[in-house]
Chain A
Amino acid sequence: MRNEHKLRAQIRTLVDGGATGLAILSTILVVAPLVAIFIYLVYKGASSLNLDFFTQIPKPEGEDGGGMANAIEGSGVLLAIASIIGVPMGIAGGIFLAEFGRGTKLANAIRFTADVLNGVPSIVMGMAAYSLVVVPMGHFSAFAGGVALGIMMIPTVCRTTEEMLLMVPHSVREAALALGVPNWRSVLSITVRTASPGIITGCMLAFARVAGETAPLIFTALGNSYSSANLNQPIAALPLQIYVYALSPYDDQHRLAWAGALVLIALIVIAVSLVRYVTSRGVLKGAS
């Protein structure tokens, strides 16, 4: 009897160790590609990073040097337009799905549409923006690129907002209603506020995803070899510039493409951390 007990305990320890080992291995497998990509980017791109890269516009083909100042600016402009379009519309949609339209046919239709939209290839988004914005306007523009990216943000923001709102405990909503607060006010001031850390994460995910998109910009923002502050004109973007340089026959441009990719990832990381830092400062000690 005693021996049997001992044996079982040993088997348990063994199985426990095995399961923990598997979990650690899987984690490493998941993180490894990310780390590998980053190391390779640093290895290939860091040597071309200098002040010129951030301050100069591209040199004519064949000439060495030059930078991507216009592309960095352009990506900033495009992402700003995209966020102005995508974040409010996505959040508003998510609030409708979770709070006001729960169980209605309209809400189910919207949820289904958002899921389908999420799966639409990004080049199709570019074509949609091309026919909706570029064709009526008659020319490529920063605005059209921003619209394409903005539409791509909507489903992610919308669905994460919905999920996060549904995670707010029922007791918190009841507390607000029992104080005589009207439902709309309770939703905006209590439920959305309680869910805001998750909603912000959703917005950041959507932002990071579209920041690296190339395909939807090909027919919309087009790209530009010069700096442009005009939303009505074609504009450069980091992913576009990387794409063009990576296909070029010149070694120097290849190096710049690697540096561009490194900068793109670094900028996304910085932007996401910055938003998290700023928004977490308002949160109180001990909350959540």
Chain B
Amino acid sequence: MGVGIEVTTLNAWYGTNHTLQDINLNIPANHATALIGPSGCGKSTFVRCLNRMHETNPIARVTGTVRIGDVDIYADAKPVEIRRRVGMVFQRPNPFPTMSIYDNVAAGLKLNGYKNRQALDEIVEKSLKNSALWDEVKDELKKKSGASLSGGQQQRLCIARALAVDPEVLLMDEPASALDPVSTSKIEDLIFQLKSQYTIVIVTHNMQQAARVAEKTGFFLNGRMVEFDSTHKIFTNPADKRTEDYITGRFG
């Protein structure tokens, strides 16, 4: 089951560039939350702070607290522990090119020393079913490389890979922006199904997408969070003038 995320005065830097400034935000458990905003506004940096991927860049720095469930992720835990609980799907599909479909899905468990073959088979099947890819690949699980799938299939493979380690939170950084409309709608359907079991945070440039999949939406601008509210409120009656300007297409 998913857990809530509580962000308090989060600040992040790349070198001297202050990319995130004083972010305060409560993300509800078992819902989809969308983050929108123009390019470079800090929304990708924000989700990368939620699984401590931000600090994999040597010039990056972060302050503030992020609580995921009961855990203060910057004070009480190691990055690898956090990343096992907080799955991530990236903008471009990035399956492991030398691995079969099966090994791609099992990678997170296998690389952490999980060896029970029978259980692995079950987890792989369940994850691929959860990501709506099972029927398309079940006959060639171990024969075909993950890289030989189409872009949309690769992205669903990456979702299956993230689900296989049984995370509580799923971060998606523009998961459909490199995909065609059919694949995009498949990913959106998927988010709709998954949000009952996981807390989902999705960064998107596509406002219709945010409106379709998310209960809550946050609007980011120049490293600050301008507004956070129910998706309906943000798109019909935003409190801030800048939010209104953005969603009506006056900039960004």
Chain A contacts to B: CB under 8 angstroms: 169, 171-172, 174-182, 185-186, 189-190, 193-194, 196, 283-288
On chain B, the number of residues with a Cβ less than 8 Å from chain A's Cβ atoms is 33
Q: Is B92 an interface residue (CB 8 A)?
A: yes
Question: Top 8 A-B pairs ranked by shortest CB distance?
Answer: A286-B148, A180-B84, A179-B108, A180-B83, A171-B94, A287-B145, A284-B145, A178-B88
Q: How far is the CA of A11 from the CA of B51 in the complex (A)?
A: 58
Q: B92 CB to closest chain A CB, in angstroms?
A: 6
Q: A168 CB to closest chain B CB, in angstroms?
A: 9
Inter-subunit contact A179/B148 (CB<8 Å): no
Determine the main DSSP class of A at the interface with B: helix
| Given A178-B83, A196-B98, A288-B108 contact (CB < 8 Å) | no
Chain B residues within an 8 Å CB radius of A182 = 80
In the complex, per-residue mask of B68-93: 1 if CB is within 8 Å of any chain A CB, else 0: 00000000000011111101101010
Q: How far is the CA of A35 from the CA of B124 in the complex (A)?
A: 52
Inter-subunit contact A180/B80 (CB<8 Å): yes
Chain A residues within an 8 Å CB radius of B35 = none
Across the two chains, which residue of chain A brings its CB closest to B95?
A175
| Given A194-B97, A286-B144, A178-B51 contact (CB < 8 Å) | yes
Across the two chains, which residue of chain A brings its CB closest to B142?
A284
A-binding segment of B17-25, B157-165, B216-224, B232-240: B157-165
Q: Which of B90, B95, B107, B161 has the most chain A CB atoms inside 10 A of its CB?
A: B107
Q: A65 CB to closest chain B CB, in angstroms?
A: 51
Inter-subunit contact A175/B165 (CB<8 Å): no
Q: Can you identify 29 A-B contacts, CB atoms within 8 angstroms?
A: A171-B90, A174-B90, A175-B95, A175-B96, A177-B83, A178-B51, A178-B53, A178-B88, A179-B84, A179-B87, A180-B82, A180-B83, A180-B84, A180-B85, A180-B165, A181-B107, A181-B111, A185-B112, A190-B111, A194-B96, A284-B99, A284-B100, A285-B143, A285-B144, A285-B148, A286-B144, A287-B97, A287-B98, A287-B145
